[in-house]
Structure formats: structure tokens, C-alpha cells
């Protein structure tokens, strides 16, 4: 089986993890702060707070920005459910902004229209969560300008996008977002098995993220309400969680980060090769905005269904039967039963709903060989014929 994505683990990664296993600390040791410093320096941000998943990072990012009952959070309907669930965890209301059909990312023009209507009815969002689908940055300059005009904060869900760039700078540098979140799930660009990180340039937000990921407990006398009782003393000053990353995971992450640029370069080669090999097939290959350098987490093609004598499901089934683990990213979130029960309906976000019955994620990961890629292309060619 050729999967759509997979991790790459070297002997050096294994050695890094086993060294932690025989050290003094399996968790809350030196590896997590080292990993955080490394990621922050790499993307050009002041602070990074590592946690046990990007889902946890999104949750505490919302909380750190003060999202709660009565607030509204907007995101893209074409994303993993975690991008919107984080707002529901906080008791906020979720809404979506339809996508640009070329990039599959939240469309700033539609965001502006929706903000205009929301201003008229006093229902502006507190936070907008743009998702860099497939690793391609959203139009962050436009979204940032709107955040100033309409007074919302920005959390980038960059789960797909570590190592990607926007306007020549690494995603996560915080020029256009309050907080950036990366995922380290094994199918993503670099992995810690499970894991995520929240990045910010804001000292107070970083402090808040630290508290929230570990029970709301502080050992810093500056943040306590009274002098310390003694060397054992700590105070709980907020309601936090146990969202900590382990030192085993951080050691794996440190080792993986060494190969981040190499991985993204290889993903670019694979994408460029797909672009050429698929040029004569009735599929639309992924368009790239001129000011982005994608991390290429996913390579998504859209079937030109009117030119194809078979259905989307048939193409999928044939590829799976050929041993290719194609996938679909994503089922529009507002069509999930849980979200329908919140009041969303089929028809609410037409571009997202047009995308869904056309999209296929082809295999994309650094160790995919040219021969495997050729096999995928030939299997797709065969799957598109009657």
C-alpha cells in the first residue's frame, strides 16, 4: 500500500528518543524547552509552547485570547474538525467563511462581505482561524488588514504548514497572526507521534498558554497572589489542563526539525513532478498563489467531473484497489451531523460543497519514490477511463 502520507524515522531519531528513556526525565525535563526554542527560532517568533496535539494547541490558543460563551469564532469549512471544535470547547459559537475554489483556503473577499453583514447586526467574530490547507498559506495580508478594520484576533491553523513560507518568511513568524499552531501528527511535515505547538510573539499570551497547558498552575512568585509558603509551593490561578508534551516526543521533534527544509524541498519536487505528469489528465492540479512557498503537506487534485465517464467514488475505489491510499481532505465541517444539529445546512457554503465531490489527495511524503509516483499517475489515468 502506498499511503497518502507517512512519517520518516531515522536511526538518529530512534537514538534521540532512547537517550531520553534512560535519562532522568521522561516528561517535564530539558527536551521540551529545547524543542520550543528550536521551533521558535526556526520560524522567527519569540515564544513557542509545545503541547500533546495541535487540537490542544488550538483549544488553549482560543482560551488565551479570551474566547468564551457569547463569543463567535469563524474558520474555513474545508478543514479538519479540530479547527472549529476548539471554539465549541470554549462555549463559543462557530461559523464558517467559504473557500476560494483555487486555493481551497478561506476567501478574504467572502470574509469581508460576511464581516460587513456581521457589523450591521452586532455579531462580529472575536477570533478568525484561517487554515493553511495543504501547506499553502492563506492570503494573510488581507486577513490581517480585515482583523484591524473589524477588531478580531487571528489564530493560524498551520497544522499543514510548518516549513512553508508566505511573502518570503516562514509561516509562524507572527507578522499577520496572534498565535500560530502547528501539528506534529505522523502524516504532517515533521512528527513527534502526537504533538502540537502554539507560537506567539506576545509575552502575555505565551504566559497564558503555559498556564493553560499545565493545570493553570504557576511556580513564578510574580504571578502569585501571596508570598510563597516554601520551596514546594505553587498556585493554581486559572483552570488549565494537562496538555503537556513529553520529553520523548520533544527529542523526536528536535531530531526531525533538522530535516524540515530537506523534507519540504523534496515535497516541492514531488509536487512539480505531479504537475507535469498530470497535465494531460482531466484533473485540476493545485494552483499556487505567487507569494507562497507551500509546505506541501497534501497534493489535492480536483476531478473535472464533466470530462470523466466515471464517478468520484469509482475513481477512489479503483485507486484504493490498486493499493494507493488516496484520501479526501476534507468533508466540509458544516455538513457533519454534529454541526447540522447546531443549525448548519447543506447549501450554506457552496464552494466547499463543490470541492468535496471532486477532491482527491494523492500520495505525498518525502520518501515517496519516482517509481511509486509514476505508478500512482498511471493508476489514476486508468481510473479516469470507463
The distance of closest approach from Cβ of residue 386 to ligand PLP in the complex, given in angstroms and rounded to an integer, is 35
Check the CA dihedral 312-318-319-324 and report its sign: positive
Judged by beta carbon, residue 196 or residue 253, the one nearer ligand PLP is 196
CB-count burial class (<10 Å; 0-12, 13-18, 19+) for 204: exposed
Judged by beta carbon, residue 155 or residue 281, the one nearer ligand PLP is 155
Instruction: Cell numbers for 280, please give them.
Output: 494531460
Q: Choose among 303, 13, 289, 273: nearest CA to 139.
A: 289
Residue whose entry in the numeric block shows the C-alpha cell 477511463 = 385
What is the pattern of x (binds ligand PLP, CB under 6 A) and - over residues 125-144?
A: ------x-------------
Under rule CB under 6 A, residue 79 binds ligand PLP: yes
Please state, in angstroms and rounded to a whole number, the distance separating the CA atoms of residues 276 and 273. Answer: 5
Looking at 13, 157, 178, 353, which residue binds ligand PLP (CB under 6 A)? 157
Judged by beta carbon, residue 176 or residue 330, the one nearer ligand PLP is 330
Judged by beta carbon, residue 155 or residue 379, the one nearer ligand PLP is 155
Looking at 108, 125, 196, 240, which residue binds ligand PLP (CB under 6 A)? 196
Residues with Cβ < 8 Å from 82, sequence gap 6 or more?
Answer: 54, 55, 58, 157, 159
Of the candidate spans 14-22, 77-85, 261-269, 376-384, the one that interacts with ligand PLP by CB under 6 A turns out to be: 77-85
Q: Do 156 and 295 form a contact (C-beta atoms < 8 A)? A: no
Under rule CB under 6 A, residue 47 binds ligand PLP: no
Under rule CB under 6 A, residue 53 binds ligand PLP: yes
Judged by beta carbon, residue 156 or residue 308, the one nearer ligand PLP is 156
Q: Is 188 a catalytic residue?
A: yes
Judged by beta carbon, residue 82 or residue 380, the one nearer ligand PLP is 82
The distance of closest approach from Cβ of residue 74 to ligand PLP in the complex, given in angstroms and rounded to an integer, is 15
The per-residue DSSP string of 93-130 comes to: EEEE-PBPTTT-SB-HHHHHHHHHHHHHHT---SEEE-
Looking at 75, 83, 210, 256, which residue binds ligand PLP (CB under 6 A)? 83
Q: How many other C-beta atoms lie within 10 A of the C-beta of residue 290? A: 5
Q: How far is CA 26 from the centre of its chain?
A: 27
Looking at 75, 103, 139, 159, which residue binds ligand PLP (CB under 6 A)? 159
Please report, in angstroms and rounded to a whole number, the separation of the first and last CA atoms in the chain.
24
Under rule CB under 6 A, residue 7 binds ligand PLP: no
**Active-site residue, selected from the candidate residues 12, 114, 188, 345:** 188
Catalytic center residues: 188
Footprint on this chain of ligand PLP (rule: CB under 6 A): 53-55, 79-80, 82-83, 131, 157, 159-160, 183, 185, 196
Amino acid at each position: 500500500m502506498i499511503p497518502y502520507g507517512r512519517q520518516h524515522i531515522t536511526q538518529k531519531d530512534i537514538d534521540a528518543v532512547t537517550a531520553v528513556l534512560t535519562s532522568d526525565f521522561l516528561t517535564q525535563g530539558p527536551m521540551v524547552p529545547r524543542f520550543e526554542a528550536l521551533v521558535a527560532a526556526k520560524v522567527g517568533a519569540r515564544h513557542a509552547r509545545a503541547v500533546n496535539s495541535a487540537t490542544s494547541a488550538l483549544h488553549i490558543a482560543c482560551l488565551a485570547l479570551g474566547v468564551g460563551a457569547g463569543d463567535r469564532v469563524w474558520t474555513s469549512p474545508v478543514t479538519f474538525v479540530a479547527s472549529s471544535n476548539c471554539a465549541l470547547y470554549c462555549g463559543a459559537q462557530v461559523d464558517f467563511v467559504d473557500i476560494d475554489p483555487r486555493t481551497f483556503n478561506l476567501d478574504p473577499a467572502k470574509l469581508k462581505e460576511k464581516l460587513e453583514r456581521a457589523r450591521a447586526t452586532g455579531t462580529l467574530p472575536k477570533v478568525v482561524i484561517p487554515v493553511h490547507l495543504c501547506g499553502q498559506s492563506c492570503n494573510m495580508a488581507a486577513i490581517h488588514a480585515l482583523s484591524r478594520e473589524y477588531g478580531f484576533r487571528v489564530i493560524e491553523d498551520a497544522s499543514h504548514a510548518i516549513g512553508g513560507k508566505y511573502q518570503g518568511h516562514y509561516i509562524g513568524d507572527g507578522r499577520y497572526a496572534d498565535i500560530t499552531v502547528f501539528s506534529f501528527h505522523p502524516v504532517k511535515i515533521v512528527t513527534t507521534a502526537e504533538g502540537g505547538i502554539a507560537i506567539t510573539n506576545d509575552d502575555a499570551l505565551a504566559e497564558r498558554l503555559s498556564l493553560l497547558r499545565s493545570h493553570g498552575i504557576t511556580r513564578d512568585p510574580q504571578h502569585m497572589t501571596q508570598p510563597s509558603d516554601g520551596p514546594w509551593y505553587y498556585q493554581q490561578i486559572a483552570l488549565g489542563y494537562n496538555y503537556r508534551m513529553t520529553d520523548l516526543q520533544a527529542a523526536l521533534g528536535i531530531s526531525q526539525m533538522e530535516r524540515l527544509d530537506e523534507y519540504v524541498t523534496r515535497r516541492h519536487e514531488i509536487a512539480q513532478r505531479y504537475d507535469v505528469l498530470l497535465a494531460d489528465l482531466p484533473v485540476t492540479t493545485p494552483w499556487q498563489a505567487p507569494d507562497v512557498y507551500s509546505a506541501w503537506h497534501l497534493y489535492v487534485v480536483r476531478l473535472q467531473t464533466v470530462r470523466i465517464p466515471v464517478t468520484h467514488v469509482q475513481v477512489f475505489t479503483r485507486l484504493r484497489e490498486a493499493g494507493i491510499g488516496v484520501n479526501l481532505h476534507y468533508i466540509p465541517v458544516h455538513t457533519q451531523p454534529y454541526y447540522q444539529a447546531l443549525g448548519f445546512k447543506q447549501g450554506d457554503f457552496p464552494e466547499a460543497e463543490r470541492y468535496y465531490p471532486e477532491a482527491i489527495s494523492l500520495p505525498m511524503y518525502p520518501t515517496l519514490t519516482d517509481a511509486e509516483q509514476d505508478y500512482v499517475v498511471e493508476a489514476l489515468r486508468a481510473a479516469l477511463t470507463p
